[in-house]
Structure 1
Amino acid sequence: MIKFSVKHPVSIAMLIGVLITLGVISLTRLGLDFFPDINYPSVTVITQYQNVAPEDIEELITKPIEGAVSTVSGVKKVTSISAEGVSAVTVEFEWGTNLDFAAQDVRDKVALIEDYLPEDASKPIVLKFDISQIPIIEYIAYSDRYKLTELKDILRDEFKSFLERIEGVASVDIVGGRDLQYWVTIDLEKIAQYNLSFSQITQFIAMNNFNLPSGKVDYKHKNILLRTIGQYNSIEDLENQVVGYTPKGTPIFLKDIGKVTIEEEERLGYAKLNNKESIALVLYKQSGANTLQVSNRVKKAIKTINAKYPSIKLVESFDQGKFIKLATSRTVNNAIVGAVLAALLIFLFLMDVRPTFVVAIAIPLSVVLTFIVLNAFGYTLNMMTLGGIALGVGMLVDAAIVVIENIFRHEEMGEGPKEAAMNGAQEVWLAISASTFTNIAVFLPLIYIGGMIGQITKPLAVTVTSVLLASLFVSVTIIPMLTSQIVKRKVAVKEATREYWFGPIKRFYRKILEKFVLRKR
């Protein structure tokens, strides 16, 4: 490999170009996140049963679901919370369990008992834990023109659909505010008079509050679809709803036994801005999407919305992209500063710009090769992978320095540039390989750590290992080739310069060695 690289510089130059191209393409495909993708092996089953006490929730919903999901393979622990109107059953699996298959098994088990749950309870929802479901950006909406209920309707009908069409946005939640609802106040004396029950009234209302398809009609070579409109659109529609019949067959209307009003729904949460009640827009990104890019697209879309709805103000309250940008910029800056300092120190000892350039070029080349590996493993640029690159920058120049210094020594022995590059690199390649693999042996075992800590440290281990292997490849191929082509300075001039700067240090060090090594025993 070393001889080939020195004797075929054009081929190696083409290889460099190919690797740089692949590295840049891989970099553009890497997502940018704050943390690595973490898949905690747990599934939660959420079931709602409005206005029911926690004790009844536990008996009617929680315990049946617990019994069903406990039979799923690989379950480690089952925990549950029964609160007013809601049941949450969390199933924790052993680490290494395929969460997609496990979630499907849970859905299948829950589906078997759905018919035994209360009819008024909502259908159980199975949710997987996914760190990507942390909101990426939030906005607080308020308006002096619209009421809170009107503002919420606009946000739901206009803003939500517009924002969900943005590339990388998975969903948009609207938090705060209260919707308008029809409230029916029943007169107990009248339902007793008409011999009606609450379940009968509820059944009549529910069975008539929807639209039905009514077939089609062929008219002048056209198919016209027919619909029967039954959904309530006003108080009058509800008041005129039949809820029963007298013994003589006379219909009993809802207005005969109660009163219908439009009121705001029960408050379940608040969203405030400067102590003023508002509505929050919470945006979530798609798994694997670049958080920073999605955040920038959302901000651009918000500007369009502000221009279209000037009476509605949107104030940014949280942006995950800001934290990612700050953290990644600091990590990248530290890596750049480390690379520059390493190059300056190399120049200080070699006293020549051209060999310093050869050694310094190993840093970006090794990092570019690392991007190819990260893309192949499906990783993103996050605190751990960027930290691994910054950590590896300080170690990857070691092999390059050893190789180029030994090549210099062979030049000082009178060998030509190509001969010195081949002999110098071949002489130390085994030593630098041992040194590189020793460093790799420190980090690589991190991939075997289990649990959540292992999911965090594995990208770090893979990144550092990739950087070091890339630096070894660069040191035994690209650096000998570049040295044989670029570094052609006369040995006498080099030795004179180095002796001027480091001669006193070398002589002082020699005296110390003679004093301790050659001391009489």
Structure 2
Amino acid sequence: MLNKLIDTGVNNRLMVVLGLLALIVAGGLILPKLNLDAFPDVTNIQVQINTEARGLASEEVEQLITFPIEAVMYALPDVEEVRSISKTGLSVITVVFKEGTDIYFARQLVFERLQAAREDIPDGIGTPEMGPNTSGLGQVFQYILRSDTPGRYDTMALRSLNDWVVKLLLMPVTGVTEVLSYGGEVRQYQVQINPEQMLSYNLTIKQVVEAIEASNRNAGGWYLDRGAEQLVIRGVGWLRSGEDGLKDLGNIPLKDVDGVAVRVRDVARVGFGPEIRQGAVTLTTRDAQGKPRPLGEVVAGIVLKRMGANTKSTINGIKERLPTIQMALPEGVTLEPVYDQSDLVDKAITTVSKALLEAFVLIIIVLMLFLVNLRASFLVLISVPISIGLALMAMAYWGISANLMSLGGLAIAIGMMVDGSVVMMEHIFTHLTQPDEDHHEVASEQLAEGSQHPYDAAHDRSGMALRIQEAAREVGRPVFFAVLIIIIVFAPLFSLQGVEGKLFQPMAISIVLAMLASLLVALVVVPALATFLFTQGVQHKNSLIMRPLSAVYRPALRAALSWRKMVVTLALALFIGALALLPHLGTEFVPELEEGTINIRVTLAPSSSL
């Protein structure tokens, strides 16, 4: 089969060249779609359920909300774990599914079960909702809103702008699943009851709530025929916004006392007020001289990326939307990015790209020094970009992200990619430096030693293509098994499960894809292109590096063969010494990364006031 593959490549060498050109075009179309990330996403398949229960203590939250939801989630298929946290006013339940479960299928199952769980939760306590479809690496972009003129826009106004302007403009960006707001004060229409007035009019809070709810609704009256027209009838009773809304709230009647309407404003103070806060955001920057410049309290937003989305494309889409958002904000309000995960992605890609480039340059130097032929070196070198390009195209097709681990795998494999091509090219080169079998005697009689014109295609029985084909067939099997052994070495990484599997499998996949591509290049591309670059025999040139190396290696080899037992004993001693040092080797789950940021977390007592 390998010989047939080699023969097909040589006999259809023009098609191989056209295939390479098509590969370049396909790479230009497919590679921009490659998902770029900083690290592999090791988050398991999970769906989060959040329920806000205002006023309830953690014990009531556990009994009335958390337990009924947990009870129905255990019956879902492929569920590995259900865990929960019940806090004052908040229930958070996480349903973890087995690896390989489609996230959208998992969310659909949870959504269906939530309908049954809602029936077991008392009315008015809280409505469970699924959390955003994101992962542990989903926080890809963070920004702040601040007022350039102190006092012109307070934190309540900034929070409203973030919730109702910025968020709505960011949500349509491809890859964005949610925008979280932090800091500021959430504006509320507040009715602050006066207990004394309530007692004097013999009213209860329930009556006030029911009156407000009943007075804040629209009603539909269907249609009314008027001649040839059909008019839509509707009753408008919604409260207006802004200051007009406060007036409408205050004018809502509660009851009649001696023919006089008692309104909300008679028993309560109506106005705007902030929601009870549990957190705040402050920011301090440095000026041009490096001095701290406190900006005080600001409003922050965190953009969450949808699970599986392209991190780089998502951030680019957000950046393209920022000028439009700034135009929509009032004068004096500025949106400033404070964290951009694309910087980390660029640093990771730059690091690996630099390693690939350095390795590529070293390979060029080594090949030129040992092969001493520009054409032969070129044929070996093209296996690197072709193999990497094919591997990246396959990763883009299967949705595998290019990150620090997968690109690092390519950096590891770059030296192994050229192994098959080096063996193939060296054997072809050896064949071409000698005349064919029919002309050995003629060559020894007619060609002087060191002649620059050995027998070329004109003297050979079937031309140079046949000699290249025969040379490739002779080393086809060794090249195939050498690459196969390398692939088998990395095969155990595919058996890893959980976090380890998600962390190391991208590296194994990239290496295996690159090695398979390099095997295809060595068996098909190199022999086919050699028929175009070598149209006549070549003269063997001794390398300046090989001569002193051979002078050292030959005596060393003779000495090693003479003292075989000592060499084996020394090797065993080194092996045992390495095993003895192994327990002293430091271990870490992941390498330490210098992202350039510091995260400080301070934990206070639960009763601490903001």
The verdict on a shared fold, with TM-score over 0.5 as the criterion, is yes
CA distance 1:65–1:300, change in 2 (3 Å): closer
Q: Deviations over 1:378-400 (max 9, x none)?
A: 21222222122222212110111
Q: Confirm whether residue 115 of structure 1 aligns to residue 119 of structure 2.
A: yes
**Corresponding residue number in structure 1 for 2:282:** 272
1:475 to 522, 528, 532: 522
1:261 aligns with 2:281: no
Residue 299 (structure 1) aligned to one of 319, 324, 330: 319
Contact kept in structure 1, 2:326 and 2:334, CA below 8 Å: yes
State whether structure 2 residue 547 is matched by structure 1 residue 503.
yes
Partner-residue secondary structure (3-state), 1:378: coil
What amino acid is aligned across from residue 161 of structure 2 in structure 1? I
Distance 1:185 1:442, change over 3 A: same
Match of residue 92 from structure 2: 88
Deviations 1:108-133 (A, max 9, x none): 22311313313223321123763277
Answering whether residue 429 of structure 2 is matched by residue 408 of structure 1, we say: yes
Shift of 1:324: 0.5
Aligned 1:32-111 pairs, distance under 5 A: 32-111=36-115
Distance (Å, rounded) in 2 between the aligned partners of 1:20 and 1:407: 26
User: Does structure 2 retain, via aligned residues, the 8 Å contact 1:403–1:475?
Assistant: yes
Contact 2:181 2:299 in 1 (8 A): yes
Written as runs of structure 1 = structure 2, the 5 A alignment for 1:201-216 is: 201-216=208-223
Question: How far off its partner does 1:261 sit?
Answer: 2.9
Cα 1:302–1:519 change in 2 (3 A) is closer
Deviations 1:64-90 (A, max 9, x none): 222222232333333221111111122
Out of 7, 20, 24, the residue aligned to residue 3 of structure 1 is: 7
The aligned residue for residue 479 of structure 2 is 432
Distance in 1, matches of 2:317 and 2:98, equals 38
Structure 2's unaligned 5+ residue stretches are: 285-293, 437-456, 458-463, 566-610
Q: How far apart in 2 are the matches of 1:46 and 1:306?
A: 32
Do structure 1's residue 182 and structure 2's residue 186 form an aligned pair?
no
Within 2, Cα distance between the matches of 1:440 and 1:469?
8
Choose which of 153, 157, 160 in structure 2 pairs with 1:146: 153
Higher deviation after alignment, 342-351 or 180-189 = 180-189
Specify the alignment match of 2:246 in structure 1: 235
Cα distance, 1:512–1:335 mapped onto 2, change above 3 Å: same
**AA of the residue aligned to 1:296:** N
Distance, in Å, in 2 between the alignment partners of 1:163 and 1:503 is 66
2:166 to 113, 138, 159: 159
Shift in CA distance, 293/41, structure 1 to aligned 2, threshold 3 Å: closer
**8 Å contact kept, 1:69–1:109:** yes
TM-score, length-scaled by structure 2? 0.78
**Do 1:402 and 1:428's aligned partners in 2 also have CA atoms closer than 8 Å?**
yes
- Measure the CA separation in 2 of the matches of 1:37 and 1:214: 54
* Cα distance change, pair 108–5 in 1 and its aligned pair in 2 (3 A): closer
**Worse-matched range after superposition: 345-354 or 131-140:** 131-140
Tell me: CA distance 1:277–1:520, structure 2 relative to 1, closer, same or farther (3 Å).
closer
Amino acid at match of 2:412: L
Distance 2:166 2:95 in 1: 35
Q: Distance in 1 between matches of 2:62 and 2:82?
A: 14
C-alpha distance in 2 between matches for 1:40 and 1:369: 29
Name the SS of the counterpart of 1:131 in structure 2. Answer: coil
Q: Is the 8 A contact 1:444 1:461 kept in 2?
A: yes
Offset of residue 344 of structure 1: 1.4
Superposed displacement of residue 320, structure 1 = 0.6
Q: 2: distance between equivalents of 1:425 and 1:134? A: 50
Q: Which amino acid aligns with 2:343?
A: K
Distance 1:28 1:235, change over 3 A: closer
Q: Structure 1 CA distance, aligned partners of 2:318 and 2:476? A: 51
**Is 1:281–2:288 an aligned residue pair?**
no
Q: Give, in whole Å, the separation in 2 of the partners of 1:418 and 1:365.
A: 23
- Distance change >3 Å, CA 518–CA 71, structure 1 → 2: closer
- Where do 1:335-414 residues align within 5 Å? 335-414=356-435
For the residue of structure 2 that corresponds to 1:88, the secondary structure is: strand
Deviations 1:464-504 (A, max 9, x none): 11100100010011111222321357544x33x43x54234
1:511 Cα deviation (Å)?
Answer: 2.9
Match of 1:514 in 2: 558
1:41–1:129: 8 Å Cα contact kept in structure 2? Answer: no
More helix by share: 1
Deviates more, 1:16-25 or 1:285-294: 285-294
- Letter aligned with residue 316 of structure 1: P
Residues of 2 paired with 1:113 and 1:169: CA distance? 29
State the match for 1:461 in structure 2.
Answer: 508
CA distance in 2: counterparts of 1:419 and 1:508, whole angstroms: 37
Unaligned runs of at least 5 residues, structure 1: none
Q: Which moved more, 1:183-192 or 1:78-87?
A: 183-192
Report deviation, 1:407: 1.1
Cα-to-partner distance string for 1:347-368 (whole Å, 9 max, x where unaligned)? 1101111111110011111111
Compute the TM-score of the two structures, normalised by the length of structure 1: 0.90
In 2: Cα distance, 1:97 partner to 1:170 partner: 20
SS of residue matched to 2:139:
coil
Query: Greater CA deviation, 467-476 or 313-322?
Result: 313-322
